[in-house]
Amino acid sequence: MSVLKAILMGVIQGLTEFLPVSSSGHLGLIKGLFGMDSQSILFDVLLHVATLISICAVFYKDVLRIVIEFCGMCRDIFRNAAALARSLSDGKTPEYARIISSPYRRFVLLLIVSTIPTGIIGVFMKDIVENASSNLLVTGICLICTGLILALSDFLADGDKKLKEMNMGDSFSVGVAQGVATLPGLSRSGITIVAGLLCGLDRKFAAKYSFLMSIPAVLGALILELFNIGSESVTGSDVGCYILGMVIAAVIGYVALRLLMNLVVSRYFKYFAIYCGAIGVVSIIAYFVKR
């Protein structure tokens, strides 16, 4: 891998993973227009790890609390199971620990509910997504759909739901949106934020929830990708390029994520809507020209 490609892919990953313009759509468009070969699976995994680091850096307080509470929930579940087992042997009424005992434990539960439909849809759409990833027509149509959805978001009334008011139906709906957004050209961040807004979520909380919700989904996808790495050969120069691309993706991703949090509140999605629409038209034209 060349240094130039590592820098280019790092910049694209860092910018498009968080800004609502679809990273998969841009990668598919670049590949289709310039005939760029598919990149190393290992490099792809490292780029996604870099953007996960960006999310954890921006929302480090929330991530830390979520991890701590998730571990506490697992501990209490095992304790309750042990108490049940003891009660079956000694006949005494067991004393169970309350699993959802804090706001952040409820946050964990909401994230789990969101992850379920995402995972199910991701499994069933896997082959469709793989076949569509190199199709400029599908990418273009999805980019235009992303633009229309983003344009709608700036006209939605401000919601007031935050963690305390958000319900399981809201989290499930946003999870469905995340699953559908695996199609190339559909922006995961844009679609899920707008889904949150349609559920009545506060704008800033909708954006925060969107990115925290992406962590388990991306981790799951990365684990599956790791099984496909196989005996991929990596040279010493590749290692340097991979690290360079990863650092660039993490730094640019951090800046892009900070920027997006402000743009959501300021209702500036219409500019991304225009951009996605224009890029979508370019992709469709390229499809027919290259036929």
pLDDT tens figures, 185-228: 899 889 999 999 999 999 899 999 999 998 988 888 777 766 66
Q: How far apart, in whole angstroms, are the C-alpha atoms of residue 160 and residue 165?
A: 8
Query: What is the CA 112 to chain-centroid distance, rounded?
Result: 14
One-letter amino acid of 85:
A
Q: Can you give the pLDDT at residue 111? A: 94
Q: Can you give the pLDDT at residue 44? A: 75
Nearest to 213 by CA among 163, 258, 159, 155: 163
One-letter amino acid of 81:
A
Selected residue with higher pLDDT from 91 and 259: 259
What stretches of the chain show up as alpha helix (H) in DSSP? 3-16, 23-34, 41-58, 60-90, 103-124, 126-132, 136-153, 168-180, 188-198, 203-226, 236-266, 269-289
Sequence-distant (≥ 6) Cβ neighbours of residue 58 within 8 angstroms: 211, 254, 257, 258, 261
Residue 196's Cβ-count burial label (10 Å; 0-12, 13-18, 19+) is buried
Domain definitions of the chain by residue range: 3-63+102-289
Per-residue pLDDT for 62 more than 70?
yes
Query: What is the CA 108 to chain-centroid distance, rounded?
Result: 16
Residue 200's Cβ-count burial label (10 Å; 0-12, 13-18, 19+) is middle
Residues 91, 54 contacting (CB under 8 angstroms): no
3-class DSSP state for residue 131? Answer: helix
Sequence-distant (≥ 6) Cβ neighbours of residue 252 within 8 angstroms: 10, 11, 14, 15
Confidence of residue 41 (pLDDT cuts 50, 70, 90): low
Q: Which residues pair with residue 161 across a beta bridge?
A: 201
Q: Can you give the pLDDT at residue 136? A: 87
What stretches of 59-157 show up as alpha helix (H) in DSSP? 60-90, 103-124, 126-132, 136-153
Sequence-distant (≥ 6) Cβ neighbours of residue 48 within 8 angstroms: 13, 17, 218, 221, 222
Q: What is the pLDDT of residues 23-33, one digit of tens each?
A: 777 777 776 66
Q: Can you give the pLDDT at residue 74? A: 93
How is residue 201 annotated by DSSP? B
Going from the C-alpha of 51 to that of each of 12, 181, 184, 285, the distances in angstroms are: 11, 17, 18, 31
Angle in degrees, CA 58, 213, 156, rounded to 5: 90
Per-residue pLDDT for 157 more than 90?
no
Q: How far apart, in whole angstroms, are the C-alpha atoms of residue 273 and residue 285?
A: 18
Phi, psi (deg, nearest 5) at residue 94: -75, 155
Selected residue with higher pLDDT from 93 and 251: 251
Q: Can you give the pLDDT at residue 152? A: 86
Q: How far apart, in whole angstroms, are the C-alpha atoms of residue 140 and residue 150?
A: 15
